[in-house]
Structure 1
Amino acid sequence: MNNAQSALKVAAGIFLTIALITIVVLLFVSAQEATKTAQNEFSSIQTELSKASFTVYDNTSVSGSQVINAIRKFFKQDQFGIRVVTGKNRAGKSDGNHYGYYVLPNGEIAGNNRNDSIDSALNESSDNYVNPSGKFKAKLIVDSSNVTRGIVFEQQ
């Protein structure tokens, strides 16, 4: 009789241990799924926030001072470029002046050369001078992954 009680106690202990391990595993799996969902949500929020800084330049008209501010803000970003077409540099059949990387219309970066100087945009005697009171049409350049790679400002 004593052996039977001991066997029942051991069996009950093993059963409870297995039940406890099962509960812990189920909780871990559900927590893991919740973590993956949270990561995906965080990633989409982060993408939206990174695009939000460019939405003001998405097919809108901006002033020359906003163009200069955009150049100062974005031209040193990695894998990003700004192209400004002014009334003067358009007359010379130029495709404008580039700040940061040279970005092709399809969003690809052309080469590793950067223009890290904004002096020509501020020099009134330059064909690339951005008149703060001028009006510019802004357009975003996105790559095949829908990542914003550049902004084109064309004087109206």
Structure 2
Amino acid sequence: MENATKAIIIGASIVITLAIVTIGFTIYGIGRDASDKATEKIGGMANSIMDEEYEKYHNTTIRGSEVVRVIKKIQDSGDYIGVQVTTHKAGSIWYVYDASDINDLNGAGGGWGSDPLDEAQDVTNTNYINPSAKFKGTVLRDSNDRIAAISFEQE
């Protein structure tokens, strides 16, 4: 009888141990799914916040002084974004990055005689951006739906 009791106790212990391990793995799986979803949502929120910073210029009219501030801000931030400014006098010019090929940005600045922002603020320069002129902004996205450029066209 003693052996039968020990066998029942050992069997019950094994079943209880298996149940506890199964419950542990189930809780781990649920926690992992919740963690993955939370990480995905946080990543999406971070992208939305970053996009909002530049999305505010889409279909918005701003002054030339603000255009220069946007160029400086993007230049200082290190963001991989090109800024195109089209004026009546100089035509179209790229700042920070050249996004002529929206999926392959290149540094904009080759061939500049001096700092492009200095030229944009020099009234005697062809690339001058009139601080009081109005510019309409357009946000341009690449094939990954990332903001790759902002275009400002003088009205």
TM interval, shorter chain, is 0.7 to 0.9
Aligned partners of 1:108 and 1:2: how far apart in 2? 78
Aligned partners of 1:57 and 1:119: how far apart in 2? 23
Question: In the alignment, is the contact (CA less than 8 A) between 1:75 and 1:81 conserved in 2?
Answer: no
Matched, 1:87 2:88: yes
Name the structure 2 match of 1:93: none
Aligned partners of 2:71 and 2:79: how far apart in 1? 13
Aligned partners of 2:150 and 2:75: how far apart in 1? 10
Question: In the alignment, is the contact (CA less than 8 A) between 1:85 and 1:128 conserved in 2?
Answer: no
Structure 2: 5+ residue runs without aligned partners?
A: 110-114
SS at match of 2:96: strand
Matched, 1:114 2:108: yes
Aligned partners of 1:127 and 1:114: how far apart in 2? 17
Name the structure 1 match of 2:142: 143
Question: In the alignment, is the contact (CA less than 8 A) between 1:141 and 1:148 conserved in 2?
Answer: yes
Aligned partners of 1:39 and 1:149: how far apart in 2? 24
TM-align CA RMSD: 1.7
Name the structure 1 match of 2:97: 101
Structure 1: 5+ residue runs without aligned partners?
A: 91-95
Aligned partners of 2:125 and 2:4: how far apart in 1? 100
SS at match of 1:138: strand
Aligned residues: 149
Aligned partners of 1:13 and 1:58: how far apart in 2? 66
Question: In the alignment, is the contact (CA less than 8 A) between 1:101 and 1:109 conserved in 2?
Answer: no
Q: Tell me the TM-score normalised to structure 2 length.
A: 0.88
Aligned partners of 1:7 and 1:56: how far apart in 2? 73
Question: In the alignment, is the contact (CA less than 8 A) between 1:141 and 1:149 conserved in 2?
Answer: yes
